[in-house]
Structure 1
Amino acid sequence: MCTSHDPVRDEAAQAGAGRRSFLRATALLGAAATAGVAVPAGAEAAEKGGRRPDPESRRFTLAVMPDTQYLFDGPSIDAAPVEASLRYLLQHGRDENIVFLSHLGDLTQNGAEAEFAAIGAAFGILDRRGVGYSVLAGNHDVKSSTDDQRGPTPYLETFGPQRFRSTSTFGGASSDGYNTYHLFRAAGREWLVLALDWRLSDKGYAWAKDVLARHPRTPVVLTTHELVVEDDRLSDHGQQLWDRLIADHDQIFLTLNGHYWPAGRAVRTNAAGNEVHLHLTNYQNRYFGGAAMIRLYRFDLDRNVIDVETVSPWILGRAAEGLNALERQELELSGDADRFSVDIDFAARFAGFAPVPARPARPASKMLIPGTAAYWRFESAVSGTVRDLSGRGNDLTVVPVGGGTLGWSADHHPDQPGHGSLEFQGYKSPLKGAYLRTVDGAPLNSATFGNGYTIEVFYRLPADWDPAHHAWSGIVGRTGTGGAAGRTGDDPDEPLATLSLSDDREPQWAMRPLNQEGIATNWGQETPLETWWHLAVVNDGTRTTLYVEGCPVVRNPKAPAVGITSVGLPWLLGGYEYAGKTDQILHGRLGDVRIVSRALPVTAFMTH
């Protein structure tokens, strides 16, 4: 929902700025780390200060780092690529809204103390800031023939639960220390990362199920070292994880693993009938052992998508020095397995374990704010008269055309005060349907709103809506023509005011103000079918602004428009007249309609 500070616009700008500043900043960070020169002031600030990510923003990023083992291999240890990636997370924690990092195992090549000492020191970059992250043991970090009951190891000494206990995201660990879970807040809710060992014992499976049982309403990203082996195929161990844990726990919607290459993806349907996305990401086979490539999973809960990007901050950072032939091929990866989007309707996907409670209906009295000229809502089938709930006598009567009738549905916009809608079944050629009109003598018929007005409506168009039969139907409008009012500019047969839907389903407010001869027109963008929409036309006594879902549209005229011309004739809901005759009838559902004789701010719309 748009508000006066327009967070959608702010966040989109933030995301674009983050990408641009990323390229600039990493050019400094990577070059400094590689050349052994002083770290730039911006990087020092990233480690010492900076702002936390926004836990309420509906756009956030989960960072993923796969196998780094070749960077920590006996005498050839080089921590610079990992450090560059971690500094990126700090430098851009705010503008990318990075909420968490998950390492997918095989931190080292041999699981040796010196190797773990080096990568443990690198991760101190995050520890010093209290940034949330998870790690897990891969087959190169521990003896590969063992499971999570293996006992003490250099991995456990370096990345055991003791390392994370002071971090706010740490949730807990299995008694053996090899399995952990982490909680972070993003998009206004809690999320869980379940970091599982290379091989789970029966105790490990029991622990994981207990964690899920104790967080029954929390969506879960499962991370482990081995699961997907290639596109659309799981390894034997991955199939075991699916059968014993993932399939029966609907909370797990995304899994991330390394171990194999090249990168790949699979989708499976769980026991609840929902899709689970399973992703393999590993670049150790590429130049410089993958150069600490990171995956950025950019969640956007408004667009219902996860946009995935794969980059190496270290290689990008070396651009200032001049890249070698292989580095130029690895700046960032753009193949289908490395840069892609995953469509997820988050509310629907999580509805089985964390349904969003429906907003309750609100009493009509709450909608009768000062200046209310008319208010209609449809919480039951219409028979006869629809009362104007403002008490001002602007009642409606049904006008059938060609034997048409009005239906009723409990369907409604999720933020609509009244829980119900009328179903209009208009059809052109031959004209058929039914609409509503204000009664003769209704005060609204002669009102001109010289000091401003706000008209609000909720509507939804069905899947079978088509422009040939349904375009240019009116949602709400005033009858009487420009010619009858002596306003002959433009088409004199057009009605004095109409909020209609074009052949592209664009809402259009076209009317004759008191201060001009011609028609003033506001245009919205195409509104998709089978979706509820809220429209508001707001005039402040000088200019008119059309809002779609609380967001101002681009085509709002700047010319002054004062009031609405009247010849004392009725208003219509669901109908449109041309040359004084019914010309089209709405094909769709219409919810609450309110007219207020003053300009309302967005925060006073019926959706609030």
Structure 2
Amino acid sequence: MTPAESSHPDRRGLLQVAVAIPAVGAMSAAALAAGVGPAHAAPDAARPGRFDPASPRFGLAVLPDTQYLFDADSADPEPLRATFRYLVGRRGDANLAFMTHLGDITEHGTREEIALAARTFRLIDGRLPYSVLAGNHDIASGDDQRGDTPYLDAFGPHRFASAPTFGGASPDGYNSYHVLRAADREWLVLALDWRVSEAGLRWAQGVLDEHRTLPAVLTTHDLVWAGDDGAARLSDNGARMWDELIRRNDQIFLALGGHYWPPGRTVLANDFDNDVHLHVTNYQDRYYGGAGMIRLYGFDLVRGVIDVETFSPWFLARDASDRTPLEAETLELTGPVDRFSLEIDFADRFRRFAPPVVPKPRPAPAVMPRGTVAYWRFDSSGAVLPAAGAPVPDGTVVRDLSGNGNDLTVSRLHDSDPKVLTVSAEHHPGQPAHASLRFDGGKNPDRGAILTTGPRARLNSEKFPRGYTIETFVRLPEPYEGDHAWMGILSWEGRNGDIGKTTGWSPLEPTCSLNVSPERFLQFVVYPDRQDADPTSWSHAIPVGRWTHIAVVNDARRTIVYVDGSKIARNPAQPSTGIATLGKPFVLGATQFDERFGQGFYGWMGDTRIVGRPLSPAEFLAPVG
């Protein structure tokens, strides 16, 4: 127990004894196949589901060399059929947007092998968009100017003409591109022949130029190779493609190849000093020619990662007790080049060619719904403020834009330096006003700044009998330096004991406050107007270095706290009607104890609004849904 916690043995000590609920995350294919969960159940029992192009999470399936499954009279397409059944059956669950084959579909490229492969691919025709490209085993020789081949007859542009993602092909037919919609934006997939000619490179550049705002995934057969250490290196052909196409086009952030084994990966900086992830994926050297093994790239634009896993649906579909040792061994690959996560700040990585569209500021009248009691913002519509970075003088008035007279006045705590409160242009991307205040409060010695309502403000005595919604935007600094335990975000002045409350941690704490614990948990504690109680909500640890929207919603029966539109877990079911206000000022930037302010808030604070009724998440200042 830290010194801060030992000085508050009751409510605040509860943080140390709260029941920990483990997060439910993605489970491995092998674990789920053993009966732990449903996500990787046998594909034949799966319900197809629907792909959601608006979801911020989607999957890209990558299928490498399948040549040993289509090898003359040794052919066995059943592993690939199982893979296709799996992808179609799990499209909705995994939100699969697309599949791409990396070449060497067949061993010899004969008309018979190609025909069998083409029939096998019918399992996904019209059910899952996909691309293919020619590997060296699929064609006789030469670059993409080689002319007609059985491969082109079966897998040429005509096969994809009706696909909703198909954008077009090079005149020779061996190179193609697809545009898919996922995570509410468009993405480009370039599928290039194993030996692209100069004409093919010019065509590919033209496609990139025509779609210059789309992030691009490049696929080809021969790109990089790796040693046993998993560190990938450009092949001779890959070096040519890197120099003549990839490094020159910032859109290409991921490039995938097969051909070589073992698998591996590397990251190279392009001409714009941005990362390009290059991977070699090939399992034909594994048991049963790789057994139709797939690699799933799970894009998560919320977490800023691509999660990668590699497994064989064919073996996965079998009962665990029926798998042979080699089947069980090949079911899933979990080494560092087969199961990993790539951290990518997508907005920042794509900023140069596709800058994010920043919503325009919304005028105050547009965000004051029926029942708005108070609304403050820190731009020119709310106050006369100095330039960004300058201190906000004591006595500055921030107007209540609702017209209810709950104006706020700035003052410093404990003779604090003027720089403890400054103007900032930083703001939450969904915030109506594009401005905030930067607080630099802290302990040892106590310092900070506050904004308080006047002595006759309506808000001071508002009881909220029909419920309320209190919203604000905050951002904690990164690095998060110093001791800021139990700093207040907002509160009403006064002591709950002065209004006859008897249940709380102390009769000296205020009747309503939103605070931050030593662990950066939000604590909302309220003494209701109609109950002798102190229901307290606790959040998870809020992040540093990023904006957070907080909403406290009371429906006159109980209180629910939302963080970024998500209801937190630790909202008490205890009855709570109204707020037991004492007619004393409302405060932004600190919380009193025994009617004395200690430290002030540390971080940024944006628009703050109070509405005298419960709002739905769709009505929040940063609307959800």
TM over 0.5: yes
CA contact (8 A) 1:577 1:584 kept: no
CA displacement, residues 266-318 of structure 1 (integer Å, 9 cap, x when unaligned): 11111122111111110111111111111111111111111111111122234
Distance in 2 (CA, whole Å) between partners of 1:562 and 1:464 is: 39
AA at the equivalent of 1:313:
P
User: 1:93 corresponds to which residue?
Assistant: 91
Change (3 A) 1:338 1:465: closer
Distance in 2 (CA, whole Å) between partners of 1:456 and 1:273 is: 40
Instruction: Give the one of 504, 510, 516 matched to 2:519.
Output: 504
Number of residues of Structure 1 aligned to a counterpart in Structure 2: 577
- Give the percent of matched residue pairs that are identical in Structure 1 and Structure 2: 51
CA contact (8 A) 1:130 1:168 kept: no
CA contact (8 A) 1:223 1:256 kept: yes
CA contact (8 A) 2:451 2:587 kept: yes
Deviation at 1:176, TM superposition (A): 0.8
CA contact (8 A) 2:493 2:585 kept: yes
SS of alignment partner, residue 262 of structure 2: coil
Change (3 A) 1:20 1:507: closer
Distance in 2 (CA, whole Å) between partners of 1:525 and 1:247 is: 42
Is 1:426 the counterpart of 2:438 in the alignment? no
Change (3 A) 1:512 1:321: closer
AA at the equivalent of 2:100:
S
Is 1:140 the counterpart of 2:140 in the alignment? no
Distance in 1 (CA, whole Å) between partners of 2:192 and 2:298 is: 23
Change (3 A) 1:101 1:594: same
CA displacement, residues 63-83 of structure 1 (integer Å, 9 cap, x when unaligned): 111111111122211111111
Instruction: Give the one of 391, 395, 404 matched to 1:392.
Output: 404
Distance in 1 (CA, whole Å) between partners of 2:93 and 2:218 is: 25
SS of alignment partner, residue 575 of structure 1: coil
Over aligned residues, Cα RMSD in angstroms? 2.2
Change (3 A) 1:536 1:301: same
User: 2:7 corresponds to which residue?
Assistant: none
Instruction: Give the one of 193, 215, 223 matched to 1:227.
Output: 223
364-373 or 527-536, larger mean C-alpha shift: 364-373
Distance in 1 (CA, whole Å) between partners of 2:352 and 2:196 is: 27
SS of alignment partner, residue 585 of structure 1: coil
Change (3 A) 1:332 1:464: closer
Distance in 2 (CA, whole Å) between partners of 1:325 and 1:68 is: 22
325-334 or 222-231, larger mean C-alpha shift: 325-334
Distance in 1 (CA, whole Å) between partners of 2:321 and 2:412 is: 77
Distance in 2 (CA, whole Å) between partners of 1:464 and 1:94 is: 40
Deviation at 1:487, TM superposition (A): 2.1
Distance in 1 (CA, whole Å) between partners of 2:312 and 2:440 is: 56
User: 1:32 corresponds to which residue?
Assistant: none
User: 1:605 corresponds to which residue?
Assistant: 620
Distance in 2 (CA, whole Å) between partners of 1:278 and 1:248 is: 15
CA displacement, residues 424-473 of structure 1 (integer Å, 9 cap, x when unaligned): 1112221222211111111111111122111111111112434x532212
Q: How does 1:81-120 map to 2 (within 5 A)?
A: 81-120=79-118
Distance in 2 (CA, whole Å) between partners of 1:523 and 1:317 is: 43
CA displacement, residues 159-182 of structure 1 (integer Å, 9 cap, x when unaligned): 111211122221111111111111
SS of alignment partner, residue 430 of structure 1: coil
Distance in 2 (CA, whole Å) between partners of 1:460 and 1:365 is: 25
User: 1:151 corresponds to which residue?
Assistant: 147
Deviation at 1:143, TM superposition (A): 2.8
Change (3 A) 1:113 1:533: same
CA contact (8 A) 1:228 1:235 kept: yes
SS of alignment partner, residue 212 of structure 1: helix
CA contact (8 A) 1:460 1:588 kept: yes
User: 2:52 corresponds to which residue?
Assistant: 54
Instruction: Give the one of 175, 190, 195 matched to 2:191.
Output: 195
Change (3 A) 1:239 1:599: same
Distance in 1 (CA, whole Å) between partners of 2:110 and 2:192 is: 21
CA displacement, residues 450-500 of structure 1 (integer Å, 9 cap, x when unaligned): 22111111111112434x532212111100001222324330111111111
* Unpaired segments ≥5 residues, structure 1: 1-8, 30-41
Instruction: Give the one of 490, 501, 506 matched to 1:487.
Output: 501
Distance in 2 (CA, whole Å) between partners of 1:58 and 1:432 is: 41
Is 1:281 the counterpart of 2:295 in the alignment? no
CA contact (8 A) 1:387 1:395 kept: yes
User: 1:36 corresponds to which residue?
Assistant: none
Is 1:366 the counterpart of 2:366 in the alignment? yes
CA displacement, residues 489-541 of structure 1 (integer Å, 9 cap, x when unaligned): 33011111111111111111112112333422111111111111111111111
AA at the equivalent of 1:415:
G
Is 1:472 the counterpart of 2:468 in the alignment? no
CA displacement, residues 312-358 of structure 1 (integer Å, 9 cap, x when unaligned): 11222344782333222111111111111111111111111111111
CA contact (8 A) 2:42 2:318 kept: no
AA at the equivalent of 1:337:
V
Runs of 4+ in 1 over 6 A off after TM superposition: 9-13, 15-19
User: 2:120 corresponds to which residue?
Assistant: 122
Distance in 2 (CA, whole Å) between partners of 1:386 and 1:532 is: 22
323-332 or 408-417, larger mean C-alpha shift: 323-332
Is 1:215 the counterpart of 2:229 in the alignment? no
CA contact (8 A) 2:538 2:570 kept: yes
CA contact (8 A) 1:543 1:562 kept: yes
User: 2:417 corresponds to which residue?
Assistant: 404
TM-score, normalization: structure 1?
A: 0.91
CA contact (8 A) 2:42 2:316 kept: no
User: 2:558 corresponds to which residue?
Assistant: 543
Change (3 A) 1:474 1:205: same
CA contact (8 A) 2:49 2:93 kept: no
Is 1:337 the counterpart of 2:320 in the alignment? no
Is 1:326 the counterpart of 2:326 in the alignment? yes
Deviation at 1:22, TM superposition (A): 5.8
Change (3 A) 1:465 1:543: same
TM-score, normalization: structure 2?
A: 0.89
AA at the equivalent of 1:403:
S
User: 2:266 corresponds to which residue?
Assistant: 266
Instruction: Give the one of 601, 610, 615 matched to 1:586.
Output: 601
203-212 or 345-354, larger mean C-alpha shift: 345-354
CA displacement, residues 361-385 of structure 1 (integer Å, 9 cap, x when unaligned): 1111122222111111101444421
Distance in 2 (CA, whole Å) between partners of 1:317 and 1:441 is: 71
Distance in 2 (CA, whole Å) between partners of 1:292 and 1:456 is: 52
CA contact (8 A) 1:404 1:434 kept: no
CA contact (8 A) 1:59 1:300 kept: yes
User: 1:292 corresponds to which residue?
Assistant: 292
